[in-house]
Amino acid sequence: MGNLPHFQLFIDGAWSEGATSQFMTSANPATGQGWATFSCAAPEDVDRAVAAAKRALDDPQWRDMTATARGKLLYRLADLVAENAARLGEFETTDSGKLLAETSAQTGYVADYYRYFAGLADKVEGTVLPIDKPDMHVFTTREPIGVVAAIVPWNAQMFLTATKLGPALAAGCTVVLKASEIAPAPMLEFARLIEQAGFPAGVVSVITGDAENCAIPLTRHPDLDRIAFTGGPETARHVVRNSAENFAVTSLELGGKSPILVFEDADLDGAANGLIAGNFGASGQSCVAGTRGLVQRSVLQDLIGRIKEKAGAIVLGDPLEAGTHVGPLCTLAQVNKIEETLAKSAEQGAVVHFGGQPADRPGNYMNPTLVECISPETETLKVEMFGPVMSLLPFDTEEEAIALANSTVFGLGSGVFTQNLARAYRVSKRIKSGICWVNTYRAISPIAPFGGFNQSGYGREAGVEAILDYTRTKTTWISTSQEPMANPFVMR
């Protein structure tokens, strides 16, 4: 392993190498050079983590802890996340290539997600039912769903961990957190904060590894009760098939080709900023990236001019530098996929207004790119590239815009730019997506649920309903009669 930093697995409150001592080297996307190594879980390690979670679930130390006390642990975790935001951000930036300004700020904001769910921990209530039978007192309680597998991708890992781990722990579940084998360092470092916060051993384990040795054994494990997955649709299909082995309740937050609709009455500077944020923010590596810009034909060229002017000031560079706006992509495969997609789009008649090529520098850099499309069948409008590529397509009428917005198998995010409030309401109501931003884009809050329609998945994360998804309802019937239970074979 040389002199590179090394990250172990965190299982049952202890740090260890994987059972087979396999490890991987993680490359810094800004340089292409290895910067750290990490242990990879084997099936035996998955078994250990799940067994620890199952044991902790029934251990009085966690099982009998009051909801208020669980909330206090989450508050402590939130404070630790906030205190270590800069350090965790640096790990994430070095490992994934995302801008330090974004990773550190996002991690700092993630603390509010843990605080939100900490506050909800003792707000989960049951109901007394006005039952239609005399001498019966019937009530419901919500109990932890059980052992949870939380599977998180590399692109927004601290955030997507909080939206799963926060409600799961607040509800009283135990969690095996599986970090992506691509850029897992910040997740393994985050495990130290879980340890410092004082959660009992086994309540949270953090592992990583490849599909065959880690993800598959985890998602099909017989002792699993819940799977919370964020990732791509193809992987999700395997997760769903694996869950057939254990009938674990499953939620999926998947990919997208989100539309941003710009009408002729929109504030075009605001719309240009929204399109830039939705496509070049996070270097385009966002599941809600607004990669299908649908623009009313009468303002298309004006909008293109404004985007060109604003994009001219974008600084491509080292993600650790404060002045950088767009950093490298996490993997070289993303750069290659973008090049192939752009080549096919050009053959279909699309016009590249700027960018279109990898940057001439070491690392996985792709220049921000603007593509004007002439057909909804243009490849850049159909393929999720996970990079800084904006595609614009003209429309003429509101009905056409809505039809184009919904002409996809995905349905995660969407945006509408218009100064007509009635239109904003009409259009946002008809777009088939789990999120719709009006005159803004990529805004998030722990209070607001998010999730997808169609092949962007099912289930919701964040918001009050998220914690309920980590509980099961139990109905308790109590006879209040002084008489013994009647003979069941004597009908009255």
Catalytic residue ranges: 253
Given the DSSP bridges, would you call strands 249-253 and 6-7 parallel, antiparallel or unpaired?
unpaired
- Give SS3 for 43: helix
Residue pair 226/173 in contact (Cβ under 8 Å)? The answer is yes
Angle 33-328-88 from CA coordinates, rounded to 5°? 75
From CA 133, how far away is CA 378, in angstroms rounded? Answer: 63
From CA 139, how far away is CA 384, in angstroms rounded? Answer: 47
Residue 89 in tokens: 């951000």
Residue 281 in tokens: 């923010």
Residue pair 320/286 in contact (Cβ under 8 Å)? The answer is no
From CA 190, how far away is CA 85, in angstroms rounded? Answer: 10
- Give SS3 for 51: helix
- Give SS3 for 24: strand
In the block, residue with structure tokens 């999120």:
435
Residue pair 386/334 in contact (Cβ under 8 Å)? The answer is yes
Residue pair 371/393 in contact (Cβ under 8 Å)? The answer is no
- Give SS3 for 7: strand
In the block, residue with structure tokens 């800084």:
388
The string of DSSP codes covering 95-126 is HH---HHHHHHHHHHHHHHHHHHHHHGGG---
From CA 214, how far away is CA 204, in angstroms rounded? Answer: 16
Instruction: State phi, psi for 226 to the nearest 5 degrees.
Output: -150, 140
- Give SS3 for 224: coil
Instruction: State phi, psi for 276 to the nearest 5 degrees.
Output: -65, -45
Residue 9 in tokens: 């697995």
